[in-house]
Amino acid sequence: MGTEAAPYPPGADAPAGSGLSAADVRERTLAGLANGEPEESSRSLWQIFRANVLTLFNAIVGTCFLLLLVLGQWKDALFGFAAVSNAVIGVVQEYRAKKLLDRLAVLDAPLARVLRDGLVQEIPVAGVVLGDVAVLQAGDQIVADALILDEDGLEIDESLLTGESDPIGKDRGSSVLSGSTVTAGQGRARVVAVGAGSYASRLTAEAKRFSLVNSEIRNGIGRVLRWISWALLPVMVIITNGQMQAQGGWEEAFRTGAWVEAFVGAVAGAIAMIPLGLVLMTSVAFAVGGVRLARHNVLVQELAAVEGLARVDVLCIDKTGTLTEGKVILDGVHRAGRPAPAGWEEALGWFGADPHANATARCLAGTFTFDGGTAPAAVVPFSSTRKWSAASFPPPHAAAGTWVLGAPEMVFTEDLSTHDLSPSGAVLAHAGRLASSGLRTLVLAHTSAIMPDGGTEDVQLPSGLAAASLLTFREKVRPDAAQTLAYFRRQGVAVKILSGDDHRTVTAVAREVGLDVGRGYDARHLPSDAPLLEETLASHSVFGRVTPAQKKDMVLALQRMGHTVAMTGDGVNDALAIKEAEIGIAMDTAAPATKAVARLVLLDGRFDRLPAVLAEGRQVIANIERVSVLFLSKTTYAVVFSVVFGALMWSFPFLPRQLSATDGLTIGIPAFFLALMSNARRYEPGFLRRSLAMAVPAGLIIAAAVLAVNVYSAAAGGFSDTANRTASVLTLSLVALSVLAAISRPLSRLRLAIIVAMCAGLVLLLTIPALQDFFMLEWPPPGLAAAAVAAAVVAMCGVAVLSRVHARRYPVNQSP
């Protein structure tokens, strides 16, 4: 009963009106009223370079590095490689994030179809101007905000923008948003917003704002580096003066050339304070974690995101594409009060096989079949305005009569406020009960009358309809959703479902995946007041009819409440919330704009990949916390050395190259292996506090031991500078190895093997002539050697006691 209108081919005469003229287009283009793209991300390459390279911290390190090269002491400048690596890694990471944002686009249509000078033309999207008449057909993406001028069965899918999974019928005067897609029918619309003023462009511009993932590890290390940066200058003044005085004073040092050795000692003290290796080791651990996750089809778009999920305590998820596959399936067939007339299954088979059927009706084809014989005598295609479709079959067809499939309240009208319900009223009441459980409900109705074949204008329901059956539909839930959500519940991670669909439908899906969610909340009534919003979020877990702006506001509210938030989704409507969350996770089906702002992308769309991400994040943060004790203890004893030896005007007890050697044996090499080992410890907040609680006392113990050896050497007298430095290297190495053993507990075979190998490396360093020559070491005399060993043994006992105290105070650190 009616056919689809013919499409508007490019170059054809317009059905009505002529659109803009060429002169109108030129005038509006010159006036800046064209559909240009938003500007690129706010972070330029120069800004990225300046933020990672041109810092006070790098200025001090670079000055020390260049000073040693100028003085010809390149062997003592090995620390420069770590500093350069840190800067390069930082620039590369941020530049990759910038490139992703620069490619972000909500609109991906190659061309737009517009009416100009009476002809339909296809033009570049950027060429659309304000006032253009857009010609819309099924499959088109709408490239600018517009108002409908005329339509024929026009339906728009706005799910990517609003989260509502059902296509929306559009009538004359309705507005359509750029970025949405035409799913059925056709029409024309006048463009009312272009460029930066359009909805898609506003979304794109906000999503392109540059930001880095909030990493507690990176934040903690950055805080330490800022402290050190401010302490470096005054400490360098103290130690430089001390070294010059140890050489007989400034005048004497410059006269004799001893100032070179004094400056090398000052550089050694300054560089020893900087945990360069910790920054590099953190980046390596993040990178290796990213490679491991890639094997699970998880793309890590920012390295620090590997750590982030380990800290998450609230997981916000969208329904469509995350909990469900976005497909509608038949839930069940229910009696409508009397036996269904003959042919009802054949009729449902036809509705499912109809090429113009909507997504709900199409899913009937998997259950019911149509023999493909006699064609209907008349057809009324589905319309979102009517919310029903119909087909008439003449006798002697098995499904003879007229069948109507549609929303119960549109097929039957009844006053349900009365207690004496007619058969149709009983059907509506039954349908209401089914719909209240979150199921999409349709009614199949029948009458023996045959509809006349005519147009679709002002079509009326046939008379004499009686309900044949009620059909319920639901979205197909991902098979991995229930198991994955159960895992997060066991890990103490709260789940919030934020969807654009009806809250009853979302609640039904949540219950299907095993969530105890209580009643859903209609976000159209969500309070805008911050305290009330936070209270609502605390008391509900399921929210329906949530707009993109509300999703973002809800994520921010959860963060204000002290939560660490992860957000998953696949639509453009999720993009802003995904960007604001600590960890944004996009599904494989996500819109390009959503993937661009996400920190992680599940390449195969499997929701059950998230536990592996969580485990990898826990391994990274637990192991970095473990090895950070080594680096921060070094910073502590280096500060003590610099201040004490500078104040006492004694020669610094190490050369930079010697510190490089001890760092490698007691920190760098073992830290590399420890940072990559398995570690399932559950995250607890306070990474930096726990690390400093062990590192600072350990560093003081090491400094005290080395200072005791130097006090003995000064009192006994007669020892060369090389012997003194070697005794200091021996003492520092032995005590630092005991700190390594303490933070490696519980000891496994591999960890024990690493400690033994480092001890063997120390023996080789002190005994192989080539190494002795390069690092300027010689075995000290017996008295000095005995003093070094004795000081080390006492200090090692102190480390053991400290380790036990720390373990009792922070038992989380002792997890395997």
Catalytic residue IDs? 318
Which strands form 440-447's sheet, in the order they lie side by side? 324-335, 466-477, 440-447, 401-406, 388-393, 378-383
Q: How far is CA 438 from CA 158, 402, 501, 515, in A?
A: 21, 29, 10, 15
In whole angstroms, give the CA distance from residue 501 to residue 509: 11
In whole angstroms, give the CA distance from residue 611 to residue 30: 54
Nearest by Cα to 637 from 276, 280, 275, 278 = 275
In whole angstroms, give the CA distance from residue 318 to residue 417: 36
Instruction: Report residue 368 as tokens.
Output: 């019911």
In whole angstroms, give the CA distance from residue 708 to residue 645: 12
Instruction: Report residue 327 as tokens.
Output: 């497909």
Cα dihedral sign, 402-403-406-410: positive
39 burial type by CB count under 10 A (0-12 exposed, 13-18 middle, 19+ buried): exposed
Main-chain phi, psi angles of 72, to 5 degrees? 80, 15
Cα dihedral sign, 513-519-525-529: negative
Place of tokens 């003023």: 197
DSSP class of residue 118?
T
Angle 369-374-378 from CA coordinates, rounded to 5°:
100
In whole angstroms, give the CA distance from residue 112 to residue 98: 28
Query: b/e for 177-190, b at 16 or more Cβ within 10 A?
Result: bbbbbbbbbbbbbb
In whole angstroms, give the CA distance from residue 802 to residue 789: 20
Rg (CA), the chain: 36
Nearest by Cα to 498 from 544, 567, 559 = 544
- Concatenated DSSP letters of 319-377: TBTTTEEEEEEEEEEEE-SSPPPTTHHHHHHHHHH-TT--HHHHGGGGT----S-SPPS
Residues facing 329 on adjacent strands: 474
In whole angstroms, give the CA distance from residue 75 to residue 655: 10
Place of tokens 């020669």: 651
Helix then strand then coil, in percent of the chain rounded to 5, is: 50, 15, 30
Contact by Cβ (8 Å): 392, 377: yes
> 792: part of which helix (H) or strand (E)?
helix 782-809
Contact by Cβ (8 Å): 106, 591: yes
Q: How far is CA 573 from CA 35, 174, 193, 314, in A?
A: 21, 20, 19, 19
